[in-house]
Structure 1
């Protein structure tokens, strides 16, 4: 009987606030049998090559149901779609631009915002996994696209590699309201929000009439209890300007995933959308480090763990 050792991360304790540490997530080794007799009926054994590290994972280990949008993992719980490996698209793209991040961008831009050519589009966390796809999708629609991100390097990246018309570093442009006045003199028609908090509040001061505001994520608040998160004080703007602000979960649009995957694969093969910028961590033991890196300005693009 062939046996192998497998390492897995498990949730030892909930992390109510702050960046999770080794007190909360622990690595252990388990022995797996590869004997056909050991595999339950209608089950398969899979070998993991790449792991996608997503910000939403943080919201699933708080131990609280306080309005965060994903159910909690159970303590002691360890954390398939068929593809053609010979179609010329690198495998990590299937957990990036053709995975959940790309799908979130597609739902937000294509289905919910549906911008017209010439629309002014603002995207926060623009150098992240969702943002780098969303900006390119909006550009394909003929929009003027501006992004906010956390470093001058990322500003250059999204302008030079992902076609953003302009971008700003939110660590430098600390007055968000003034920054948006400068970059959007004619107002905002679409704001794809990935951060929430102060940036969302500032954006709502610059929305045009009938603007669309798809809410994809609010990473600025994931490490805080709800009473410590920044509030949005200008929701009255939604009424006077008849703005449509809508939160969404990609699971509600899974019936459109086939359309998305076909479209995105075509864009990649034709060079209309560039391959993802990846931040690759090597080895399963780097999961805790890679998860923590999502909440700093150090990452560029999609965070991926290469297991082998």
Structure 2
């Protein structure tokens, strides 16, 4: 990486509001300089408490739009809608994708729920989200991305997440089943670019997170992803290119730190899933607080910031 390249790095702690233990871990990570922004699940069991924590510790906060896990915010949609099963619960990470492929989702209902979540975010925090992304990447799914972009535009939310990670194809440590999902995410993200741009949405120059989740997070892997991304962007610039992006580049690192959820504690209306109860959450917390990672940032012109600082 060129030492002349200044890097603005947004380290986002996702799933804020999922449970008190996850929230406490994210706050501890923020106070240690490990994350610089959080994404709030407003239908999470501890969303109100998380919003209070963000205010108490002055944590930059955005909205983690959720259409796949737990119970809708819109009371009307809990009774009977295309977004939920017979128990009034969202269809799940793969269930929503299957229903979408079969043409079974109502886009007006998608829009209604997204708007309800923005409204609840404002009620809980007293502010408009600094950014808005999607839990389990639902915001870039076909047809949903149009509704998502329009809701952001109408609510004055300018930043979102575009989960395209350069160099992901080189990550041979990721299991093939996970890579199949990651490739689909990247394809959906690339197909969202034109729509997001048409609504004036913005996102950092680079995204990292698919290759560094859970046990795969390490100082080495974060460093590798940053440097490969920077080199790839530089090589794509024409000779003599001198735009601001060649001097200062922006990156979002998606993370999921926290103290692991306890059984029956937390979730979005169904209790915590295996992902949240996993010790991988603690592993991410420890890596993000690791002095060696912070030394890497300091020695390579990497400055942590929030979306409002981009």
Please, what TM-score do these two structures have when normalized by structure 1?
0.31
Higher relative helix content? 2
Larger Rg: 1
Please, what TM-score do these two structures have when normalized by structure 2?
0.31
Which structure has more RCO (C-alpha within 8 Å, separation ≥ 6)? Answer: 2
